[in-house]
Structure 1
Amino acid sequence: MSLNAALIEHAAPTLAGLKPASLFRVQPEGSDFGAQFLACKEELARRGLALTLLKGCRRTGAYLVYLYRRRGLEEVLAQPEHRAFLLEMGYTPWEDVRGCLRQLAARLCLEEDFPHEIGVFLGYPLEDIRGFMAHKGKNYTLCGCWKCYGDPREAARTFRAFQDCTRDYRRRFRRGATLAQLIVAA
């Protein structure tokens, strides 16, 4: 799967402006991944989105790719409850989004378990992130794009919107729309 196709499949709601960020694993095919990544990164940057590699695996050659809307992630990380939560989780104070993302990337590489606070970076409700951690992924009220521990009706609406968006973007991409045409400018 090309990087553009992976972005459509795994990050359509972020491309459409429905959520601040998306994270997905990509297994590069061929030796042109670096060039593909840089070209895609430049195209996205012109529209207010940032593409970064949070982690790479030497053994498999796979990467964790993170796409985010700069302004959207800044707003999420500026919320006092999110900032307090990340500090509670051991993050040190950060000056900008990149400083906070560097800490997340380090945690992804150094910790044995997946850092569940990553939900903040993906725009998940804090109630659901805390609920997942407290219940160890069990006793949720609804499971979709994430496990919900709060209002299942609100989560269901959000899950449907993300699914509808992804279906629409897949269809449009298959019919020849380019990534640039599908990005809603930030």
Structure 2
Amino acid sequence: MSEDIFNMREDKMLSYIIFTFANSCMPTLFKHKPSSLVTFQKRYIEKEEIFFRTLVAEAARFSCCCELLHENEKVLYVLVYQPELLEEILKKYGNNPLLKNHGYKIQERLLSFNLKVFQARFQKYKREAEFDFPHEVGIFLGYPIEDVEEYVKNNGENYLLCGYWKVYHNVEEALLTFAYFKRIREEAIQLFFSGEELSCV
């Protein structure tokens, strides 16, 4: 990715955030899924304090919040999420072993607690080679629960379709969802390059 594309606006940092949202977050920004896990490259970020302030403000335009999950010398891993949608889906699957067996407490108004549990597990996965991947990420990202469970059972293999997630059930429905996600992503990127607001999608 060339840094030249972030010269679309006077504020390069804002331009980088908007481009990343257009490329990776549109279904979440427009409330079609509860969250998106995004990576931001530090080489495009001059001052992290200003970056996070700008990121939070831009996400708020879409009623979204941001949680820094982990960082290393090169990358920031950020969860961009719709609080109400995420809380709703966590409550819906609160008795699923992927949540129940890993310290999550699925009750009303415990979203901040559960985000901290997820953050701690994600960081441990990134820092400790022997720590298992936190498969509950599929629930946080709003993937169909049947596909999340089958992914775990099959170790990510034997899927019927691979797109925004690995599909084990309801292929036709997944294809429609993938096509829609692809369309709004392409439209958002076009708006970015035309200098228009993403809210126009």
Q: How does 1:107-186 map to 2 (within 5 A)?
A: 107-111=121-125, 112-179=131-198, 181-182=199-200
Match of 2:102 in 1: 90
Aligned 8 A contact 1:16 1:182 in 2: no
Displacement of 1:182 after TM fit?
A: 4.8
| SS, match of residue 116 in structure 1 | coil
Distance 2:24 2:78 in 1: 10
Aligned 8 A contact 2:41 2:76 in 1: yes
Displacement of 1:56 after TM fit?
A: 0.9
| SS, match of residue 84 in structure 1 | coil
Distance 2:35 2:194 in 1: 25
- TM-score normalised by structure 1 residue count: 0.87
Distance 1:105 1:70 in 2: 16
Aligned 8 A contact 2:147 2:169 in 1: yes
Once the two structures are superposed, residues 22-58 of structure 1 have per-residue CA deviations (whole angstroms, 9 ceiling, x without a partner) of 002111214234312212202322542101211111x
Displacement of 1:97 after TM fit?
A: 1.1
The counterpart of 1:69, out of the listed 71, 79, 82, is 82
Quickly say closer, same or farther: Cα 1:42–1:30, change in 2 above 3 A. Answer: closer
Displacement of 1:88 after TM fit?
A: 3.5
Aligned 8 A contact 1:21 1:73 in 2: yes
Where structure 1 has 5 or more consecutive residues not aligned to the other structure, the ranges are none
Rg comparison, structure with higher value: 2
Distance 2:123 2:45 in 1: 25
Match of 2:69 in 1: 54
Aligned 8 A contact 2:59 2:80 in 1: no
Displacement of 1:152 after TM fit?
A: 0.5
Distance 1:133 1:182 in 2: 38
Where structure 2 has 5 or more consecutive residues not aligned to the other structure, the ranges are 4-15, 126-130
Distance 1:27 1:61 in 2: 6
Match of 1:104 in 2: 118
Aligned 8 A contact 1:20 1:122 in 2: yes
Displacement of 1:161 after TM fit?
A: 0.7
Say if 2:41 is the partner of 1:22.
no
- TM-score normalised by structure 2 residue count: 0.81
- Amino-acid identity (%): 31
Cα RMSD over matched residues?
1.8
- Paired AA for residue 107 in structure 1: R
Larger RCO, structure (CA 8 Å, separation 6 or more) = 1
